[in-house]
A and B are shown apart, each in its own frame.
Chain A
Amino acid sequence: MNRHLISAGDLSREDAVLILDTAAELASVADRPIKKLPTLRGRTVVNLFYEDSTRTRTSFEAAAKRLSADVINFSAKGSSVAKGESLKDTALTLEAMGSDAIVIRHPASGAPRRLTDWTSGRVINAGDGTHEHPTQALLDAFTIRQRLVGPDQRGKALDGIRVTIVGDVLHSRVARSNVLLLDTLGAEVTVVAPPTLMPWAIESWPCKASYDFDAELRKTDVVMMLRVQQERMSAAFFPTVREYRRRYGLDTGRMALLPEHAIVMHPGPMNRGVEIAAEVADSPRSTIVAQVANGVTVRMAVLYLMLGGAADGAA
């Protein structure tokens, strides 16, 4: 695997399958009386969060702790960042404290990549601006494989599985990472968004694009709903929430059009009643809770593969 995990596009198919296989083995740790492995004893993982997050930060924290790493949580609020410290100086401070890996979330796209210049440890991107969120894509791929590939999934990718990603693709780092990773794993991805929320260079993405949600519903195995990110929207991208919901929201009527086996995903946090109806989110087809649980095991796999071996990493 690469030294850092910045983009889902950096992962080869072999790397990605290895991470999923490793996660599948680690999943059983959650069922054991002692939910802990000694593997990363003596390693220090810093969670460096410049943006609010419950799910991702606690998930990384749980993953690192289950592998016996020491975890330092660093959030921008209440730190020297509030006094104007730069990312570089923060990085040098953490470096001096002897961190082996930095898990970073930052509102600026590209901040994790920049951070790799200033630290000798590993850098894991936990979401940067509207750029990428590779571990979310990995846990989504893991969830899809778990639900649709069957019991003997070891070594398998997602060849031929049809995934439709719906909603605010323009602002979504989850969508970008998922498109890149799912394509690497052989899935057929279609993104659906209103014209105003479709990225400009969508033709250059390894996926199909559509404005018509209903047309895609019948021919998909996975529907991945994206959150409408009001905090990143600096302009009016759709007239009203009601109109967005009518054309791009997943309600029970639309869910009924899906093939029998199809699953419904959402990276969270959800806006119930906007992009996804409450009845859909709580239905047996929804994998939303499983995605959270899988987040911990997938992040354990990433931390193990990046930090568990020799310090110089690459063979």
Chain B
Amino acid sequence: MCAMRPEPDHEPGASSPGQLDRPDYPSPHEQGWKAVLTPEEIRRALSRIAHEILERTHGGEGIVLLGIPTRGVYLARRLAARIGEFEGAPAPVGSLDVTMHRDDLRLRPARPLQRTEVPPDGVDGKTVVLVDDVLFSGRTVRAALDALNDLGRPRSVQLAVLVDRGHRELPIRADYVGKNLPTAHREAVRVLLAESDGEDSVLLGERDQ
């Protein structure tokens, strides 16, 4: 163990834990990668999602934003800050590690765990908005629903993603989508965020074999 293998991004059943600390995370401007969202477009998409969340939850009453590590957490924090700008009070935000609930654990060596941090008021009776960077197979979200189930009983659960790239393998859909991105199965989507990668960008390229 411990040669933690870099994970291909957003393959079926894979999300992106642990990329933050990985020095070999590919440079955003490597050949063969095409930018599909600019920093400006990401900013606008997040503002729109924040507005939509407020609209659908009647001013954000009783909401808790839970980001799925790694990049979902940064997106959740940005959304919470955005909601704060619009409504005066930032939304409670946390993180939810889904590693222990994944259905593909047995397919690779054990992975390091990421942080789960639930705001002090918990999730019972709240409207939990799960936040992730890319929605692909839906397996990460299924794992997140299971993980959430062990933390308490929210009144409802919604899903916000920056990119929906299709190819669902489970009956799961997002409530808030930054951009619907039609992709081929062999393609890969990479989300870069200033917090972890030094810049904001969404890239589309061939999955490396």
Contact = CB atoms under 8 A, between A and B. Distances in A.
A304 B2 contact: no
A1 B106 contact: no
Interface residues of B, number: 26
A18 B105 contact: no
Given A28-B116, A32-B151, A309-B1, A37 B106 contact: no
A84 interface: no
A214 interface: no
A26 B109 contact: no
B125 to A, nearest CB: 13
B2 A38 contact: no
Q: Which range contains the number of A residues in contact with the other chain? A: 20 to 34
B36 interface: no
A28 B108 CA distance: 25
B152 interface: yes
Contacts of A36: 150
B100 A39 contact: yes
B108 A309 contact: yes
B1 A15 contact: yes
Contact of B110 (A2, A12, A38, A305): A305
Nearest to A305: B110
B150 A315 contact: no
Nearest to B101: A38
A32 to B, nearest CB: 6
B101 A308 contact: no
Contacts of A37: 100-101, 150
B150 A308 contact: no
Given A38-B100, A313-B1, A21 B109 contact: no
B149 to A, nearest CB: 8
Contacts of B152: 33
B151 A309 contact: no
B105 A25 contact: no
A67 B150 CA distance: 13
A1 B100 contact: no
Nearest to A39: B100
B22 interface: no
Nearest to B108: A310
Given A1-B1, A37-B101, A315-B5, A22 B112 contact: yes
Given A304-B110, A311-B106, 20 more contacts: A1-B1, A1-B2, A12-B2, A22-B112, A22-B113, A25-B97, A25-B114, A25-B115, A25-B116, A34-B149, A34-B151, A37-B150, A308-B100, A308-B110, A309-B1, A309-B108, A309-B109, A310-B106, A314-B3, A315-B108
9 contacts: A18-B112, A22-B112, A25-B114, A36-B150, A38-B100, A304-B113, A309-B111, A313-B1, A315-B1
Interface of A: 1-2, 12, 14-15, 18, 21-22, 25-26, 28, 32-34, 36-39, 67, 155, 304-311, 313-315
Interface of B: 1-5, 21, 97, 100-101, 105-116, 146, 149-152
